[in-house]
Amino acid sequence: MTERPDFNDPSLPTIVVGHPAIVNFRGEEVVVPEGLLERALEELGQLEVRLAAEEEISFDAGERFLRQVYAVVDRVGEAVSPGMSCQSGCSACCRVMVATTAAEAALIGRRMERALERERSDWKHEIVNRNELLDRLAERSYPSSDLTTFGGLLETCEMYERENRPCPFLGSDRLCQIYEDRPLLCRVCWVLTDPADCSPGQGPPIKFRSRVFEKAHALCGEISRIHFRDVRVSPIPYWFRNDG
Protein backbone atom coordinates (compact mmCIF):
# COMPACT_ATOMS: atom_id res chain seq x y z
CA MET A 1 0.00 0.00 0.00
CA THR A 2 1.27 3.46 -0.89
CA GLU A 3 2.75 5.33 2.06
CA ARG A 4 1.76 8.97 2.49
CA PRO A 5 4.48 11.52 3.22
CA ASP A 6 4.85 13.04 6.68
CA PHE A 7 3.62 16.61 6.22
CA ASN A 8 5.31 17.60 9.49
CA ASP A 9 8.72 16.60 8.14
CA PRO A 10 10.85 19.78 8.49
CA SER A 11 12.81 18.84 5.36
CA LEU A 12 9.73 19.42 3.20
CA PRO A 13 9.49 22.93 1.67
CA THR A 14 6.33 23.76 3.58
CA ILE A 15 5.37 25.47 6.81
CA VAL A 16 2.46 24.85 9.13
CA VAL A 17 0.83 28.14 10.08
CA GLY A 18 -2.18 28.83 12.25
CA HIS A 19 -4.11 31.61 13.92
CA PRO A 20 -4.64 34.46 14.06
CA ALA A 21 -2.67 35.65 11.03
CA ILE A 22 -0.09 34.76 8.42
CA VAL A 23 2.64 37.05 7.12
CA ASN A 24 3.92 36.93 3.56
CA PHE A 25 7.22 38.10 2.06
CA ARG A 26 5.84 41.61 1.59
CA GLY A 27 5.38 41.84 5.35
CA GLU A 28 1.62 41.92 4.96
CA GLU A 29 -0.32 40.35 7.80
CA VAL A 30 -3.36 38.45 6.63
CA VAL A 31 -5.90 37.44 9.24
CA VAL A 32 -7.23 33.92 8.85
CA PRO A 33 -11.01 34.07 9.40
CA GLU A 34 -11.84 32.81 12.85
CA GLY A 35 -12.84 29.16 12.85
CA LEU A 36 -12.06 28.73 9.14
CA LEU A 37 -9.68 25.82 9.50
CA GLU A 38 -11.70 24.19 12.27
CA ARG A 39 -14.87 24.28 10.16
CA ALA A 40 -13.01 22.91 7.15
CA LEU A 41 -11.64 20.03 9.22
CA GLU A 42 -15.11 19.33 10.58
CA GLU A 43 -16.59 19.22 7.07
CA LEU A 44 -13.86 16.89 5.88
CA GLY A 45 -14.47 14.68 8.91
CA GLN A 46 -18.16 14.48 8.03
CA LEU A 47 -17.25 13.59 4.45
CA GLU A 48 -15.00 10.84 5.76
CA VAL A 49 -17.90 9.35 7.74
CA ARG A 50 -20.24 9.48 4.74
CA LEU A 51 -17.58 7.99 2.50
CA ALA A 52 -17.17 5.01 4.80
CA ALA A 53 -20.95 4.49 4.91
CA GLU A 54 -21.59 4.97 1.18
CA GLU A 55 -23.22 1.93 -0.42
CA GLU A 56 -22.89 3.04 -4.03
CA ILE A 57 -19.41 2.21 -5.30
CA SER A 58 -18.94 3.90 -8.66
CA PHE A 59 -17.04 6.48 -10.66
CA ASP A 60 -19.88 8.97 -10.26
CA ALA A 61 -20.06 8.53 -6.50
CA GLY A 62 -16.29 8.90 -6.25
CA GLU A 63 -16.42 12.08 -8.32
CA ARG A 64 -19.11 13.56 -6.06
CA PHE A 65 -16.99 12.95 -2.97
CA LEU A 66 -13.87 14.31 -4.65
CA ARG A 67 -15.59 17.52 -5.70
CA GLN A 68 -16.86 18.02 -2.16
CA VAL A 69 -13.29 17.71 -0.86
CA TYR A 70 -12.17 20.23 -3.46
CA ALA A 71 -14.97 22.64 -2.45
CA VAL A 72 -13.80 22.66 1.18
CA VAL A 73 -10.17 23.22 0.20
CA ASP A 74 -11.10 25.96 -2.28
CA ARG A 75 -12.94 27.90 0.42
CA VAL A 76 -9.80 27.92 2.53
CA GLY A 77 -7.79 28.99 -0.53
CA GLU A 78 -10.12 31.88 -1.26
CA ALA A 79 -9.90 33.06 2.34
CA VAL A 80 -6.09 33.13 2.46
CA SER A 81 -5.54 34.22 -1.15
CA PRO A 82 -5.04 37.95 -0.32
CA GLY A 83 -1.80 37.06 1.45
CA MET A 84 -0.44 34.77 -1.21
CA SER A 85 2.26 35.61 -3.75
CA CYS A 86 0.47 33.65 -6.47
CA GLN A 87 -1.20 35.52 -9.33
CA SER A 88 -3.11 34.41 -12.41
CA GLY A 89 -0.64 33.54 -15.15
CA CYS A 90 2.31 32.97 -12.81
CA SER A 91 2.36 29.23 -13.67
CA ALA A 92 5.53 28.46 -11.70
CA CYS A 93 3.78 25.64 -9.84
CA CYS A 94 2.61 24.30 -13.21
CA ARG A 95 6.19 23.18 -13.85
CA VAL A 96 6.60 20.89 -10.86
CA MET A 97 5.81 17.20 -10.54
CA VAL A 98 2.21 16.97 -9.31
CA ALA A 99 1.35 13.70 -7.58
CA THR A 100 -2.27 12.67 -8.18
CA THR A 101 -4.45 9.85 -6.95
CA ALA A 102 -6.52 7.54 -9.14
CA ALA A 103 -9.71 9.48 -8.40
CA GLU A 104 -8.13 12.77 -9.45
CA ALA A 105 -6.70 11.22 -12.60
CA ALA A 106 -10.11 9.81 -13.48
CA LEU A 107 -11.62 13.29 -13.13
CA ILE A 108 -9.00 14.69 -15.50
CA GLY A 109 -9.67 11.80 -17.89
CA ARG A 110 -13.34 12.65 -17.98
CA ARG A 111 -12.43 16.29 -18.67
CA MET A 112 -10.34 15.13 -21.62
CA GLU A 113 -13.27 13.17 -22.98
CA ARG A 114 -15.39 16.34 -22.99
CA ALA A 115 -12.76 18.40 -24.79
CA LEU A 116 -12.73 19.30 -28.45
CA GLU A 117 -10.69 16.94 -30.61
CA ARG A 118 -8.02 19.56 -31.35
CA GLU A 119 -7.60 20.35 -27.68
CA ARG A 120 -7.51 16.68 -26.71
CA SER A 121 -4.94 15.94 -29.42
CA ASP A 122 -2.66 18.71 -28.19
CA TRP A 123 -2.89 17.43 -24.62
CA LYS A 124 -2.11 13.86 -25.64
CA HIS A 125 0.93 15.00 -27.62
CA GLU A 126 2.30 16.85 -24.58
CA ILE A 127 1.47 13.89 -22.31
CA VAL A 128 3.59 11.60 -24.49
CA ASN A 129 6.51 14.04 -24.30
CA ARG A 130 6.29 14.35 -20.51
CA ASN A 131 6.12 10.60 -20.04
CA GLU A 132 9.24 10.12 -22.14
CA LEU A 133 10.99 12.62 -19.88
CA LEU A 134 9.66 10.97 -16.72
CA ASP A 135 10.88 7.57 -17.89
CA ARG A 136 14.35 8.92 -18.60
CA LEU A 137 14.57 10.51 -15.17
CA ALA A 138 13.26 7.41 -13.41
CA GLU A 139 15.97 5.31 -15.08
CA ARG A 140 18.71 7.44 -13.53
CA SER A 141 18.08 5.65 -10.24
CA TYR A 142 19.09 2.08 -9.61
CA PRO A 143 16.78 0.30 -9.57
CA SER A 144 14.58 2.59 -11.63
CA SER A 145 12.28 4.81 -9.60
CA ASP A 146 8.72 3.55 -9.29
CA LEU A 147 6.61 6.54 -10.28
CA THR A 148 3.49 5.02 -8.74
CA THR A 149 4.80 5.52 -5.18
CA PHE A 150 5.71 8.59 -3.14
CA GLY A 151 9.23 7.24 -2.72
CA GLY A 152 9.71 7.03 -6.46
CA LEU A 153 8.27 10.49 -6.96
CA LEU A 154 10.59 11.99 -4.35
CA GLU A 155 13.57 10.39 -6.09
CA THR A 156 12.76 12.14 -9.37
CA CYS A 157 10.81 15.30 -8.52
CA GLU A 158 13.81 17.61 -8.16
CA MET A 159 15.31 16.38 -11.43
CA TYR A 160 11.96 16.92 -13.13
CA GLU A 161 11.59 20.44 -11.82
CA ARG A 162 15.05 21.37 -13.07
CA GLU A 163 13.81 20.52 -16.58
CA ASN A 164 11.33 23.42 -16.27
CA ARG A 165 8.69 21.73 -18.44
CA PRO A 166 5.09 22.96 -18.15
CA CYS A 167 2.15 20.74 -17.33
CA PRO A 168 0.51 19.27 -20.46
CA PHE A 169 -2.64 21.19 -19.54
CA LEU A 170 -1.00 24.62 -19.27
CA GLY A 171 -2.16 26.87 -22.12
CA SER A 172 -0.09 29.30 -24.15
CA ASP A 173 -1.63 32.08 -22.04
CA ARG A 174 -0.05 30.40 -18.98
CA LEU A 175 -3.49 29.54 -17.59
CA CYS A 176 -4.71 26.08 -16.60
CA GLN A 177 -6.96 24.58 -19.26
CA ILE A 178 -8.59 22.15 -16.82
CA TYR A 179 -8.84 24.56 -13.90
CA GLU A 180 -12.17 23.30 -12.52
CA ASP A 181 -10.84 19.73 -12.54
CA ARG A 182 -7.26 20.37 -11.40
CA PRO A 183 -6.00 18.04 -8.64
CA LEU A 184 -5.60 18.80 -4.95
CA LEU A 185 -1.89 19.67 -5.07
CA CYS A 186 -2.61 22.32 -7.68
CA ARG A 187 -5.30 23.78 -5.44
CA VAL A 188 -3.03 24.22 -2.41
CA CYS A 189 0.05 25.85 -3.95
CA TRP A 190 -0.40 28.92 -1.76
CA VAL A 191 3.05 30.52 -1.75
CA LEU A 192 3.97 32.91 1.07
CA THR A 193 7.50 33.80 -0.02
CA ASP A 194 8.74 35.78 -3.00
CA PRO A 195 7.52 34.32 -6.32
CA ALA A 196 11.18 34.31 -7.41
CA ASP A 197 11.66 31.39 -5.03
CA CYS A 198 9.45 29.31 -7.32
CA SER A 199 11.93 29.59 -10.19
CA PRO A 200 14.18 26.61 -11.02
CA GLY A 201 17.28 26.62 -8.84
CA GLN A 202 15.81 29.11 -6.37
CA GLY A 203 13.82 28.76 -3.19
CA PRO A 204 12.38 26.51 -2.07
CA PRO A 205 9.20 28.54 -1.70
CA ILE A 206 7.42 28.47 1.64
CA LYS A 207 3.78 27.52 1.30
CA PHE A 208 0.74 27.87 3.49
CA ARG A 209 -0.03 24.44 4.90
CA SER A 210 -2.47 23.26 7.56
CA ARG A 211 -4.16 20.12 8.77
CA VAL A 212 -6.87 20.83 6.21
CA PHE A 213 -4.48 19.93 3.41
CA GLU A 214 -3.34 16.76 5.17
CA LYS A 215 -6.92 15.64 5.81
CA ALA A 216 -8.01 16.43 2.25
CA HIS A 217 -5.07 14.51 0.84
CA ALA A 218 -5.92 11.47 2.94
CA LEU A 219 -9.54 11.64 1.76
CA CYS A 220 -8.48 11.73 -1.89
CA GLY A 221 -6.58 8.53 -1.23
CA GLU A 222 -9.58 6.89 0.46
CA ILE A 223 -11.90 7.90 -2.39
CA SER A 224 -9.45 6.28 -4.81
CA ARG A 225 -9.22 3.11 -2.74
CA ILE A 226 -12.97 2.69 -2.29
CA HIS A 227 -14.38 3.87 -5.60
CA PHE A 228 -11.49 3.14 -7.97
CA ARG A 229 -9.81 0.20 -6.22
CA ASP A 230 -6.47 1.91 -6.72
CA VAL A 231 -4.10 3.32 -4.09
CA ARG A 232 -1.32 4.43 -6.40
CA VAL A 233 -0.08 7.99 -6.78
CA SER A 234 1.61 9.20 -9.95
CA PRO A 235 2.50 12.38 -11.86
CA ILE A 236 -0.44 13.61 -13.94
CA PRO A 237 0.93 12.41 -17.33
CA TYR A 238 1.76 8.95 -16.01
CA TRP A 239 -1.91 8.04 -15.60
CA PHE A 240 -2.41 8.48 -19.35
CA ARG A 241 0.52 6.48 -20.66
CA ASN A 242 -1.72 4.35 -22.88
CA ASP A 243 -4.69 6.69 -23.28
CA GLY A 244 -5.94 5.16 -20.03
User: Could you list the mean pLDDT of each consecutive 10-residue stretch along the chain, which spans 244 residues?
Assistant: 45 45 74 84 96 94 97 92 82 89 96 95 96 95 91 90 92 94 92 79 76 92 96 95 69
Q: What confidence score (pLDDT) does residue 150 get? A: 87
Q: What confidence score (pLDDT) does residue 243 get? A: 60
C-alpha closest to that of 85 among 188, 209, 194: 194
Peptide bond into 20 cis (omega under 30): yes
C-alpha closest to that of 72 among 192, 207, 178, 214: 214
Q: What confidence score (pLDDT) does residue 20 get? A: 53
- Angstrom CA distances, 15 to 46, 79, 150, 209, 244, stand at 26, 18, 20, 6, 36
Q: What confidence score (pLDDT) does residue 173 get? A: 93
- Angle among Cα 51, 56, 61 to the nearest 5 degrees reads 65
Interacting residues of 189 by C-beta distance below 8 A, sequence separation 6+? 86, 93, 207
Residue 223 near residue 103, CB atoms below 8 Å? yes
Q: What confidence score (pLDDT) does residue 19 get? A: 47
Q: What confidence score (pLDDT) does residue 7 get? A: 42
Rounded Cα–Cα distance for residues 80 and 76 (Å): 6
